[in-house]
Structure 1
Amino acid sequence: MDDTTDVTDGADEPGWDVDPQDEIAPAVEMAGAQLRAWREDAGLSVAEFARLIGYSEDLVRKVERGARIPRPEFLDKADRTLKASGRITAMKKVMAEARYPKKVRKLAKIEAQAVQFEMYDNHNIHGLLQTEEYARALIETRRPAYSPDEVERMVGGRMARHSIFDRSPAPELSFVQEEVTLRRPIGGRMVLRRQLERLLEVAQLRNVEIQVMPTLHEGHAGMGGVIEVLKFGDGKAVGRSDGAFSGRPVSDPKQLRILELRYGIIRGQALSPRESLAFIEQVLGET
């Protein structure tokens, strides 16, 4: 989908609708008010401004009243047209964060505070390890299908979470992936190859350990499904598992101990990090 679709194309207007109940609504409203002030100071009507930047009057009105999150291209054009010297384009960072789904923003905040991650995945490569093209192909498999706009929002949110690898001090990250996740060609063979290359790249980081659970293992402690445990600097933690506590997030120490016990056993049953890297390289060579 072209984010800069001209209004004469008759295509869907670019941007993301805002839920008035969402916590990001005030920030979007403020951005819209600032855009309106810039436009009025320039002596332009909504119709004139819309024509100059190549979008419809309806879209401009929605952005100005905070009902639509403007795309980066909209802000760039507005900045040039209104001669704002970068003060409108400076809104792009906040607007980019605002467009991510609410649950993604919440997850990103939690991950930003965690100092230790323990993740076991049995169907797909974990989101923090996914390439953009793998994430897009995976999200597009969901049924009922998401709209193109929803797909882009989800992919953008998932990629933004990758900033975890740039944190300082760096958190400790441990991943255990089922062998099948390395072989299922989500998005096709080349997408999978680049995904496997990404795993090998991330595994070189000193704070990251990736292990593989071979399919030939008769059974292991992760047969109940996904396990995720995040630990924080104050000693608290939160965890979740498909196979425990109805899949709900838990923070009670007794419940967390069960998840940590299972994860510890899974790590012990999986290939070692060194063996896992060799295994991933082997799969890459066969793909």
Structure 2
Amino acid sequence: MTRANRSASPTFQYCAEMVRKLREARGWSQEELGRRAGYTGAAISALETLKQPPTEVMLAKLDQVFFDGQGIFTLAGKFLALDHLPSFFKDYALIEQDALTISSYQPFTMDGVFQTEQYARAIIGGAYPALTEEEINAYVNGRLARAALFDRKNPIPHIDLILEEAVLRRQFGTREAMALQLLHLLELSKRPNVCVQILRMDQGQTGEHAGVDGPMKLLEKSDHKQVVYLEVQRRGLLISQPEEVSEMAQRHMMLRAQALNRYESRNFIEKVAAEWQ
């Protein structure tokens, strides 16, 4: 068994074995299945031998070939997407995939779903204890894959992000990487379902700052129930008790009131991006 075999996730192994059994039950070669699905025989072999996990597109095509598009393989893609995420984060990520609304407050670093590859690689690569290059690549890919959320159609999610000004000014990677990150943030902020607000560093001069207890995320799930996600020192906590969720929601509402509005925030992001260039 190869190293790739040993490190493959249970979901990946299940998909590969299912494809092999379905193919063999029909008497097809890997080349024949590839032809029917629009891939080479080598691509099917890479999947079945656990050398290359399937993409969402491949899963959809395999669904069409074997199940007339009923979504059997496509459902597996939801769990394959978790393979490149830290274990403490996976419960949150499952909820995020289908969330109706996501309201995030981040005082230290850019929210992961808004990160560019260079910014994400700088943060993940600087983690302690140190990660291997393989782990860094996997976590970067997992983080970038979450950005598919912005293009989800059914339903379209509403995403609110409140960032401390310090996030725009704290350097991760090169100056060019920071400029690109802020320009990426600026473009995302112009989407009709995205609202980005900046909380200036002078907020708190009068003692009023609703974010002193740290970062948080509020999510409305697909069943319209609300949860809060807190994360510290690579530990994640999901809170669903209504009274606790209400407390966090009130805090987030005050943060929105204390931050620049979305149009002022865009101008400010553009200004700081120019300073990095």
Give the TM-score band, short-chain normalised.
0.7 to 0.9
Match of residue 84 from structure 2: 100
**Correspondence for 1:27:** 15
User: Could you report, residue by residue, the CA deviation over 1:214-239 in whole angstroms, capped at 9, with x for unpaired residues?
Assistant: 11222511111111000024320110
1:205 Cα deviation after fit: 0.3
How far apart are the structure 2 equivalents of 1:16 and 1:162? 28
Residue 182 (structure 2) aligns with: 196
Among candidates 240, 257, 265, match of residue 268 of structure 1: 257
C-alpha change, 1:14 and 1:234, in structure 2 (3 Å) is: closer
Question: Which structure 2 residue ranges, 5 or more long, are not aligned?
Answer: 31-41, 59-64, 66-72
Superposed counterparts of 1:1-287, under 5 Å? 17-19=7-9, 22-31=10-19, 64=49, 68-70=50-52, 97=81, 99-101=83-85, 103=87, 106-168=91-153, 169-218=155-204, 219=207, 220-241=209-230, 248-287=237-276
- Inter-partner Cα distance in structure 2 for 1:116 and 1:162: 15
Residues 167-224 of structure 1 show CA distances to partners (whole Å, capped at 9, x for unaligned) of 1232111100111111112111010000000011001101111011111222511111
How many residues align structurally?
Answer: 243
> Within 1, Cα distance between the matches of 2:94 and 2:17?
22
Q: Secondary structure at the match of 1:280?
A: helix
Q: Deviations over 1:32-84 (max 9, x none)?
A: 6679999x958xxxxxxxxxx8xxxxxx8x963xxx45367xxx9xxxxxxxx
SS at match of 1:249: strand
Summarize the Cα distance change of 1:69–1:231 in structure 2 as closer, same or farther, 3 Å threshold. Answer: farther
CA distance in 2, matches of 1:172, 1:101: 23
Q: Percent identity?
A: 30
Give, in angstroms, the shift of residue 247 of structure 1: 6.2
**Displacement of 1:98:** 6.8
CA separation of 1:202 and 1:36: change in aligned 2, threshold 3 A: same
Answer with 97-106 or 147-156: which moved more. Answer: 97-106
Cα RMSD of the aligned pairs, angstroms, is 3.8
Q: Counterparts of 1:178 and 1:282 in 2: how far apart (Å)?
A: 15
Asked if the contact 2:12/2:80 (under 8 Å) is kept, the reply is no
CA pair 34-251 structure 1, distance change in 2 beyond 3 A: same
Bigger-Rg structure (1/2): 1
Distance in 2 (alpha carbons) for counterparts of 1:159 and 1:35: 32
- How far 1:132 sits from its partner (Å)? 1.4
1:69 touches 1:99 (CA, 8 Å); kept in 2?
A: no
Cα–Cα, structure 1 residues 198 and 140, in superposed 2: closer, same or farther, change >3 Å? Answer: same
The answer as to whether partners of 1:226 and 1:241 remain within 8 angstroms in 2 is: yes
**Using CA pairs below 8 Å that are at least 6 residues apart, which structure has the higher relative contact order?**
2
1:105/1:157 contact within 8 Å kept: no
Give deviations 1:90-146, integer Å, cap 9, x for gaps.
x9x959647423746544431122111110001100011101111111100101111
- Quick check: 1:118–1:230 contact (8 Å CA) kept in 2? yes
How far the C-alpha of 1:273 sits from its partner, in A, is 1.1
